[in-house]
Amino acid sequence: MEVKAANNPDDPRKGVGFVAAALASPVTAVEAALRPLTFADFAGQAKTIERLQVMVGAARKRGEPLNHILLSGPPGLGKTTLAFILGSELGRNVRVTSGPVVEKAGDLAGLLTNLEEGDLLFIDEIHRIPKTVEEYLYSAMEDFRIDIMIDQGPNARSVRLTLPRFTLIGATTRAGLLTAPLRSRFTLQTRLDYYDTPTLETIVQRSCGLLKVEIDAAGAHEIARRARGTPRVANNLINFLRDFAQERAQGIITRPVAAAGLELLEIDAAGLDEMDKRMLRAMAENYGGGPVGMSTIAVAVGEEAETLEEVHEPFLIQEGYLRRTPQGRMLTEKGYAAVGLRPASPGQPNLL
C-alpha cells in the first residue's frame, strides 16, 4: 500500500512533547472507555495482578474492606486502571483525587468523611501530599479516625471524627519520596514495570477493536515496539494513527502506515522521541557523556527536571541508554549510538 508523504511539518501533534503530553494530559472519555474493568481483561503485570487477586479474594471471604495498597512505577502503566478494577471486583465505589489537591487537613477530612463503608480512596501522586496533611493519614489508615483542630487561639479545640472502614490506594511515580511512616502503613507495596512488546500488541489489538480501528498484526507490532513499554502511549499513538490512516492511506493501519505516522511524530524504531535524543545528545556533546546532574540536563534541553525524571529517564535507564551513579547520570555506549556518536577516547587526559 502506498502511503502519502508527510508534508505538513507544522502539525501541532508533531515534535518533542508528544510522549510527555500523552502521559501528563487528563484522561478523556475515549481513553477511559479503553480501560479494562476486570483482572481477566488486564494484560501484563502478572505478579502484581496475582497479589491483588489474593487480597481481593481474602477480603471477600472475610467480608471486610481491602487492606491499603501502594502502587508505584512510571506514568501510564495502569495504576489508576488497577484502582478501578479493584473497585469493580469488590463492588465498591472508587473516589479519585491527587496529592497536590489535598492542600490542608480540612480537604482530607472532607474526602474521608464522605466515604462509605468499604469504599476505595485513590490518591494519585501521593508523594506530593504536604507533610502536615500526611500526618493525619496515619491515624485514618490505622484507626479509622481523624483529629482536626477547630478555631484558633484560646477557642481552639480538637474534634475527633470517626471514619468508615475504607481502603486507601496510593499511586506514585517516585516511591523514594514517600516517608517511611506512610509507606509502612500500606499492607501491599507493589511496582508496575514497563510492558514487553507481545503484551503491548495484545493491548493495541484490544484498543483498536474497541475503537473500531482496522489494523493488521504487523501494524500492531509496529505500534507496540515504539510505545516505550507504556499502554497509555500506545493508546495515544492509536488515536493519532487512526487519523493518519484516514487522511493519508485507506483507513487501515498497516506496518508502512504506522511507520510513516510515527516518523511524523518523530518517534523512532526504538521508541525514542526527540526529547530523549536531545538529552542523550546534550550529555554526549556538552558534558562528555557525564556524570552530569539532571537539573543541568534540564537546562540544556529546555525542559522541567521533574518531567525528565518521571517520563524520560526511567525508560532510558531501563533500555540501557543511561545509568545513574552517585556523581550523576552517565551515557552508555548504546546511548552514544542512539544519537550517532562515539564515546570519547579512554586515553583522553583527565583535568582532575
CA distances, 289 to each of 128, 304, 317, 347 (Å) = 32, 20, 14, 15
Residue among 14, 35, 48, 80 flagged as catalytic: 80
Catalytic residue among 48, 172, 173, 254: 173
97 catalytic per annotation: no
Residue whose entry in the numeric block shows the C-alpha cell 583535568: 351
Which listed residue (95, 228, 232, 248) is catalytic?
A: 232
C-alpha cell at 208: 483498536
Question: Which residue among 14, 35, 79, 281 is the active-site one?
Answer: 79
Nearest-angstrom CA–CA distance, 11 and 291: 36
Q: How far apart are CA 275 and CA 2, in angstroms?
A: 30
Query: Is residue 124 among the annotated active site residues?
Result: yes
* 255 noted as active-site residue: no
Q: Which residues are catalytic?
A: 79-80, 124, 173, 232
